[in-house]
Protein backbone atom coordinates (compact mmCIF):
# COMPACT_ATOMS: atom_id res chain seq x y z
CA UNK A 1 0.00 0.00 0.00
CA UNK A 2 1.11 3.57 -0.36
CA UNK A 3 0.07 6.94 1.00
CA UNK A 4 0.34 5.94 4.65
CA UNK A 5 2.79 8.12 6.54
CA UNK A 6 4.63 7.17 9.70
CA UNK A 7 6.26 10.05 11.57
CA UNK A 8 8.75 9.90 14.37
CA UNK A 9 10.70 12.36 16.46
CA UNK A 10 14.00 11.74 18.22
CA UNK A 11 15.69 14.32 20.43
CA UNK A 12 19.31 15.37 20.61
CA UNK A 13 21.02 15.24 23.96
CA UNK A 14 23.35 17.14 26.18
CA UNK A 15 25.61 15.30 28.56
CA UNK A 16 25.83 17.15 31.88
CA UNK A 17 28.75 15.13 33.19
CA UNK A 18 30.37 11.72 32.63
CA UNK A 19 32.32 12.24 29.42
CA UNK A 20 34.41 9.62 27.65
CA UNK A 21 33.28 7.00 30.14
CA UNK A 22 30.58 5.14 28.17
CA UNK A 23 32.91 2.91 26.15
CA UNK A 24 34.52 1.50 29.27
CA UNK A 25 31.14 0.71 30.83
CA UNK A 26 31.24 3.84 32.95
CA UNK A 27 28.72 6.38 34.20
CA UNK A 28 27.21 9.35 32.35
CA UNK A 29 24.54 11.87 33.23
CA UNK A 30 22.88 13.11 30.06
CA UNK A 31 19.44 14.42 29.27
CA UNK A 32 17.43 14.44 26.07
CA UNK A 33 16.58 17.96 24.87
CA UNK A 34 13.69 19.54 23.00
CA UNK A 35 15.68 19.99 19.77
CA UNK A 36 15.74 17.00 17.49
CA UNK A 37 14.95 15.29 14.23
CA UNK A 38 11.58 14.45 12.72
CA UNK A 39 11.38 11.77 10.04
CA UNK A 40 8.23 11.04 7.99
CA UNK A 41 8.14 7.85 5.98
CA UNK A 42 5.70 7.26 3.17
CA UNK A 43 5.63 3.67 2.02
CA UNK A 44 5.45 3.17 -1.73
CA UNK A 45 4.17 -0.21 -2.86
CA UNK A 46 6.80 -2.13 -4.78
CA UNK A 47 9.49 0.51 -4.33
CA UNK A 48 12.91 -1.15 -4.21
CA UNK A 49 14.55 1.67 -2.28
CA UNK A 50 14.29 4.16 0.55
CA UNK A 51 14.76 7.68 -0.71
CA UNK A 52 15.75 10.06 2.06
CA UNK A 53 15.38 13.81 1.67
CA UNK A 54 16.66 16.22 4.26
CA UNK A 55 15.84 19.90 4.45
CA UNK A 56 19.45 20.49 5.41
CA UNK A 57 20.92 19.07 2.20
CA UNK A 58 20.07 19.59 -1.45
CA UNK A 59 20.66 16.10 -2.74
CA UNK A 60 18.50 13.23 -1.55
CA UNK A 61 20.06 9.87 -0.74
CA UNK A 62 18.80 6.59 -2.23
CA UNK A 63 19.34 3.35 -0.39
CA UNK A 64 18.38 0.07 -2.04
CA UNK A 65 16.43 -2.43 0.07
CA UNK A 66 18.42 -5.32 -1.32
CA UNK A 67 21.33 -3.68 0.43
CA UNK A 68 23.86 -6.36 0.05
CA UNK A 69 25.94 -3.38 1.05
CA UNK A 70 29.32 -4.12 2.38
CA UNK A 71 30.71 -1.91 5.08
CA UNK A 72 33.05 -0.42 2.48
CA UNK A 73 30.16 0.46 0.20
CA UNK A 74 28.29 2.20 3.03
CA UNK A 75 31.33 4.21 4.04
CA UNK A 76 31.88 5.33 0.46
CA UNK A 77 28.40 6.88 0.08
CA UNK A 78 28.35 10.55 -0.84
CA UNK A 79 27.22 12.91 0.60
CA UNK A 80 28.47 11.56 3.96
CA UNK A 81 25.15 12.02 5.80
CA UNK A 82 23.76 9.36 3.47
CA UNK A 83 25.99 6.84 5.25
CA UNK A 84 23.85 7.13 8.36
CA UNK A 85 20.72 6.51 6.29
CA UNK A 86 22.29 3.50 4.56
CA UNK A 87 23.58 2.10 7.85
CA UNK A 88 20.14 2.39 9.48
CA UNK A 89 18.51 0.65 6.50
CA UNK A 90 21.21 -2.06 6.54
CA UNK A 91 20.75 -2.58 10.29
CA UNK A 92 16.94 -2.67 10.18
CA UNK A 93 16.38 -4.42 6.87
CA UNK A 94 12.93 -2.88 6.17
CA UNK A 95 10.79 -4.89 3.73
CA UNK A 96 9.13 -1.92 2.08
CA UNK A 97 10.60 1.07 0.30
CA UNK A 98 9.34 4.60 0.08
CA UNK A 99 10.25 8.20 0.74
CA UNK A 100 11.50 9.71 3.98
CA UNK A 101 11.42 13.46 4.65
CA UNK A 102 13.76 14.56 7.41
CA UNK A 103 13.73 17.84 9.32
CA UNK A 104 15.96 18.84 12.19
CA UNK A 105 16.53 21.87 14.36
CA UNK A 106 19.73 20.49 15.86
CA UNK A 107 23.03 22.08 14.93
CA UNK A 108 25.14 19.54 13.01
CA UNK A 109 28.53 18.56 14.41
CA UNK A 110 28.13 20.68 17.54
CA UNK A 111 28.13 17.83 20.04
CA UNK A 112 24.35 17.61 20.59
CA UNK A 113 24.04 14.22 18.88
CA UNK A 114 22.47 15.27 15.61
CA UNK A 115 23.52 11.93 14.13
CA UNK A 116 22.03 9.77 16.91
CA UNK A 117 18.82 11.79 16.69
CA UNK A 118 18.72 11.18 12.92
CA UNK A 119 19.32 7.44 13.35
CA UNK A 120 16.58 7.02 15.95
CA UNK A 121 14.00 9.10 14.10
CA UNK A 122 14.70 7.26 10.85
CA UNK A 123 14.60 3.84 12.52
CA UNK A 124 11.23 4.51 14.15
CA UNK A 125 9.79 5.99 10.97
CA UNK A 126 10.93 2.90 9.03
CA UNK A 127 9.06 0.69 11.49
CA UNK A 128 11.58 -0.34 14.16
CA UNK A 129 9.90 -2.61 16.67
CA UNK A 130 11.27 -3.10 20.14
CA UNK A 131 11.86 -1.28 23.39
CA UNK A 132 13.81 1.93 23.84
CA UNK A 133 17.03 0.22 24.83
CA UNK A 134 16.95 -2.09 21.79
CA UNK A 135 16.39 0.98 19.64
CA UNK A 136 19.46 2.62 21.19
CA UNK A 137 21.56 -0.51 20.59
CA UNK A 138 20.39 -0.89 17.01
CA UNK A 139 21.25 2.76 16.29
CA UNK A 140 24.63 2.48 18.00
CA UNK A 141 25.38 -0.43 15.65
CA UNK A 142 24.28 1.72 12.69
CA UNK A 143 26.49 4.60 13.83
CA UNK A 144 29.51 2.32 14.06
CA UNK A 145 28.71 0.81 10.69
CA UNK A 146 28.35 4.21 9.04
CA UNK A 147 31.65 5.69 10.06
CA UNK A 148 33.72 3.03 11.71
CA UNK A 149 34.21 5.08 14.88
CA UNK A 150 33.89 2.80 17.90
CA UNK A 151 31.47 5.15 19.66
CA UNK A 152 29.73 4.20 22.90
CA UNK A 153 25.99 4.14 23.58
CA UNK A 154 25.67 7.49 25.37
CA UNK A 155 24.11 9.42 22.48
CA UNK A 156 21.61 6.82 21.33
CA UNK A 157 20.60 5.84 24.88
CA UNK A 158 20.02 9.48 25.84
CA UNK A 159 17.82 10.06 22.81
CA UNK A 160 15.89 6.82 23.35
CA UNK A 161 15.42 7.00 27.12
CA UNK A 162 14.83 10.71 27.78
CA UNK A 163 12.11 11.73 30.21
CA UNK A 164 10.62 15.24 30.50
CA UNK A 165 11.91 17.01 33.60
CA UNK A 166 14.69 14.52 34.28
CA UNK A 167 18.32 14.00 33.48
CA UNK A 168 19.44 10.36 33.72
CA UNK A 169 22.27 8.58 35.40
CA UNK A 170 23.16 6.05 32.78
CA UNK A 171 25.24 3.07 33.78
CA UNK A 172 26.91 1.87 30.61
CA UNK A 173 27.99 -1.37 32.27
CA UNK A 174 24.52 -2.84 32.74
CA UNK A 175 22.65 -0.14 30.79
CA UNK A 176 20.45 0.69 33.74
CA UNK A 177 19.03 4.19 34.14
CA UNK A 178 18.17 6.19 37.21
CA UNK A 179 16.21 9.36 36.50
CA UNK A 180 17.49 12.45 38.29
CA UNK A 181 15.08 15.40 38.56
CA UNK A 182 16.50 18.75 37.53
CA UNK A 183 15.76 21.56 39.99
CA UNK A 184 13.32 24.09 38.55
CA UNK A 185 15.45 27.10 39.40
CA UNK A 186 18.27 26.18 37.02
CA UNK A 187 18.91 26.63 33.33
CA UNK A 188 20.99 24.29 31.25
CA UNK A 189 22.62 26.48 28.63
CA UNK A 190 24.45 25.01 25.68
CA UNK A 191 26.82 27.39 23.94
CA UNK A 192 28.27 26.63 20.52
CA UNK A 193 32.00 27.26 20.26
CA UNK A 194 31.68 27.50 16.48
CA UNK A 195 34.41 24.89 16.14
CA UNK A 196 32.89 21.94 14.30
CA UNK A 197 34.26 18.46 14.52
CA UNK A 198 33.58 15.00 13.22
CA UNK A 199 34.25 12.23 15.69
CA UNK A 200 35.79 10.04 13.01
CA UNK A 201 38.44 12.65 12.36
CA UNK A 202 39.45 13.00 15.93
CA UNK A 203 41.52 11.03 18.35
CA UNK A 204 38.41 9.23 19.65
CA UNK A 205 39.62 5.81 18.61
CA UNK A 206 43.05 6.50 20.02
CA UNK A 207 41.49 7.32 23.41
CA UNK A 208 39.57 4.06 23.32
CA UNK A 209 42.74 2.12 22.69
CA UNK A 210 44.48 3.96 25.50
CA UNK A 211 41.66 2.94 27.84
CA UNK A 212 42.12 -0.67 26.73
CA UNK A 213 45.82 -0.40 27.50
CA UNK A 214 44.94 0.94 30.96
CA UNK A 215 42.52 -1.95 31.51
CA UNK A 216 45.20 -4.46 30.55
CA UNK A 217 47.26 -3.04 33.38
CA UNK A 218 44.69 -2.56 36.15
CA UNK A 219 41.51 -4.33 35.03
CA UNK A 220 38.12 -2.75 34.23
CA UNK A 221 38.27 1.03 34.73
CA UNK A 222 34.70 0.94 35.92
CA UNK A 223 35.77 -1.09 38.94
CA UNK A 224 38.95 0.86 39.63
CA UNK A 225 39.15 3.15 42.65
CA UNK A 226 40.65 6.63 42.42
CA UNK A 227 44.43 6.20 42.75
CA UNK A 228 44.54 2.67 41.22
CA UNK A 229 45.86 4.22 38.02
CA UNK A 230 49.09 5.14 39.79
CA UNK A 231 50.37 1.61 39.24
CA UNK A 232 50.20 2.06 35.45
CA UNK A 233 53.77 2.45 34.21
CA UNK A 234 53.13 4.55 31.10
CA UNK A 235 52.39 8.08 32.42
CA UNK A 236 50.18 8.99 29.46
CA UNK A 237 48.00 5.89 29.89
CA UNK A 238 47.87 6.58 33.63
CA UNK A 239 46.51 10.08 32.98
CA UNK A 240 43.87 8.77 30.59
CA UNK A 241 42.81 6.26 33.25
CA UNK A 242 42.78 8.95 35.94
CA UNK A 243 40.28 10.92 33.89
CA UNK A 244 37.93 7.97 33.47
CA UNK A 245 38.10 6.80 37.08
CA UNK A 246 37.67 10.29 38.52
CA UNK A 247 34.89 11.14 36.02
CA UNK A 248 32.88 8.06 37.07
CA UNK A 249 33.11 9.25 40.67
CA UNK A 250 32.08 12.77 39.64
CA UNK A 251 28.88 11.47 38.04
CA UNK A 252 27.61 10.08 41.33
CA UNK A 253 28.80 13.13 43.26
CA UNK A 254 26.97 15.35 40.76
CA UNK A 255 23.73 13.37 41.03
CA UNK A 256 23.97 13.63 44.80
CA UNK A 257 24.65 17.37 44.67
CA UNK A 258 21.62 17.91 42.43
CA UNK A 259 19.42 15.82 44.70
CA UNK A 260 20.60 17.80 47.72
CA UNK A 261 20.08 21.13 45.95
CA UNK A 262 23.80 21.93 46.21
CA UNK A 263 24.14 23.69 42.88
CA UNK A 264 27.50 25.26 43.72
CA UNK A 265 28.93 21.76 44.24
CA UNK A 266 27.29 20.45 41.06
CA UNK A 267 28.87 23.34 39.14
CA UNK A 268 32.25 22.76 40.73
CA UNK A 269 32.14 19.14 39.60
CA UNK A 270 31.38 20.27 36.04
CA UNK A 271 34.41 22.59 36.11
CA UNK A 272 36.53 19.74 37.45
CA UNK A 273 35.26 17.46 34.69
CA UNK A 274 36.32 20.03 32.10
CA UNK A 275 39.77 20.35 33.66
CA UNK A 276 40.17 16.57 33.61
CA UNK A 277 39.05 16.32 29.97
CA UNK A 278 41.45 19.11 29.03
CA UNK A 279 44.44 18.03 31.12
CA UNK A 280 44.36 14.27 31.56
CA UNK A 281 42.26 13.24 28.58
CA UNK A 282 43.34 15.99 26.15
CA UNK A 283 40.10 16.27 24.20
CA UNK A 284 39.55 19.99 24.72
CA UNK A 285 40.76 22.84 22.55
CA UNK A 286 41.90 26.38 23.43
CA UNK A 287 38.57 27.69 22.09
CA UNK A 288 36.55 25.37 24.35
CA UNK A 289 38.75 26.20 27.36
CA UNK A 290 38.30 29.92 26.78
CA UNK A 291 34.57 29.63 26.27
CA UNK A 292 34.12 27.63 29.47
CA UNK A 293 36.20 30.15 31.49
CA UNK A 294 34.33 33.05 29.90
CA UNK A 295 30.96 31.60 30.90
CA UNK A 296 32.09 30.89 34.46
CA UNK A 297 32.72 34.61 34.99
CA UNK A 298 29.03 35.49 34.77
CA UNK A 299 27.09 35.90 38.01
CA UNK A 300 24.75 32.95 38.53
CA UNK A 301 26.82 30.43 36.53
CA UNK A 302 27.56 27.41 38.71
CA UNK A 303 29.83 25.57 36.31
CA UNK A 304 30.68 24.95 32.66
CA UNK A 305 32.31 22.16 30.70
CA UNK A 306 32.73 20.86 27.20
CA UNK A 307 30.02 18.35 26.30
CA UNK A 308 30.21 15.43 23.86
CA UNK A 309 33.37 14.05 22.32
CA UNK A 310 35.27 17.34 22.51
CA UNK A 311 37.71 18.66 19.92
CA UNK A 312 35.19 21.45 19.26
CA UNK A 313 31.43 21.57 19.57
CA UNK A 314 29.57 22.95 22.56
CA UNK A 315 30.07 23.93 26.17
CA UNK A 316 27.27 23.23 28.65
CA UNK A 317 26.69 25.51 31.63
CA UNK A 318 24.58 25.01 34.73
CA UNK A 319 23.17 28.38 35.74
CA UNK A 320 20.56 30.06 37.88
CA UNK A 321 17.45 30.68 35.71
CA UNK A 322 18.05 33.54 33.32
CA UNK A 323 21.69 34.08 34.36
CA UNK A 324 23.17 33.57 30.90
CA UNK A 325 20.36 33.55 28.40
CA UNK A 326 19.91 37.32 28.35
CA UNK A 327 23.63 38.01 28.18
CA UNK A 328 24.64 35.90 25.19
CA UNK A 329 24.21 36.56 21.49
CA UNK A 330 20.97 35.10 20.14
CA UNK A 331 22.30 32.61 17.66
CA UNK A 332 25.02 30.76 19.44
CA UNK A 333 23.29 29.27 22.44
CA UNK A 334 20.28 27.22 23.45
CA UNK A 335 18.56 27.06 26.82
CA UNK A 336 17.51 23.43 26.87
CA UNK A 337 15.11 21.57 29.13
CA UNK A 338 15.11 17.84 29.86
CA UNK A 339 12.73 16.31 27.33
CA UNK A 340 11.05 13.02 26.47
CA UNK A 341 12.82 10.40 24.38
CA UNK A 342 12.30 9.20 20.82
CA UNK A 343 8.73 8.38 19.84
CA UNK A 344 6.26 7.89 17.04
CA UNK A 345 4.13 10.99 16.45
- Annotated catalytic residues are 155
Site for ligand GLA in 15-34 (CB under 6 A): 19-20, 22-23
Q: Of these, 155, 171, 215, 247, which contacts ligand GLA (CB under 6 A)?
A: 155
SS3 label, residue 241:
helix
- Report helix, strand or coil for 168: strand
Secondary structure (3-state) at 23: helix
Burial of residue 170 (CB within 10 Å: 0-12, 13-18, 19+) is buried
Contact of 142 with 109, CB cutoff 8 Å = no
Q: State yes or no: residue 247 binds ligand GLA (CB under 6 A).
A: no
Q: Tell me the β-bridge partners of 313.
A: none
Q: In the set 94, 303, 308, 312, which binds ligand GLA (CB under 6 A)?
A: 308
Report the residue number, 154 or 266, with the smaller CB distance to ligand GLA: 154
Cα separation of 240 and 34, whole Å? 33
Please state, in angstroms and rounded to a whole number, the distance separating the CA atoms of residues 329 and 264.
25
Give the binding range for ligand GLA (CB under 6 A) out of 98-106, 148-156, 227-235, 266-274: 148-156
- Tell me which residue of 78, 107, 79, 57 sits closest to 308, measured CA to CA: 107
Residue 21: is the preceding peptide bond cis (ω within 30°)? no
Alpha carbons 293 and 271: distance in angstroms, whole number: 9
Q: Residue 57 Cβ, how far from ligand GLA at the closest point, in Å?
A: 21
CB of 130 to ligand GLA, least distance (A): 20
- Contacts (CB under 6 A) with ligand GLA, residues 192-211: 199
Residue 50 or 139: which CB sits closer to ligand GLA?
A: 139
Task: Count the residues of the shown chain that bind ligand GLA, applying the rule CB under 6 A.
Answer: 11
Shortest Å distance, C-beta 208 to ligand GLA: 9
By C-beta, is 9 or 147 nearer to ligand GLA?
Answer: 147
Cβ distance to ligand GLA smaller for residue 180 or 199: 199
What residues line the site for ligand GLA (CB under 6 A)?
19-20, 22-23, 151-152, 154-155, 199, 308-309
Amino acid sequence: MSGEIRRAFAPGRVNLIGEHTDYTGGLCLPMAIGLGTTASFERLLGSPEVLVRSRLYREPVRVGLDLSATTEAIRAIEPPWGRYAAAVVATLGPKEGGVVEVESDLPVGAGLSSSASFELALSLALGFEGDALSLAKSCQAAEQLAFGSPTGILDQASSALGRAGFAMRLDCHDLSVRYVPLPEEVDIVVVDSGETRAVAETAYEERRLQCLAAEEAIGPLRQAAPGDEKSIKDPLIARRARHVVSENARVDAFAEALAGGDLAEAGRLMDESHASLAGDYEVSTPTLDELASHLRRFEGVFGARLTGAGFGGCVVALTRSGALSTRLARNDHWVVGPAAGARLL
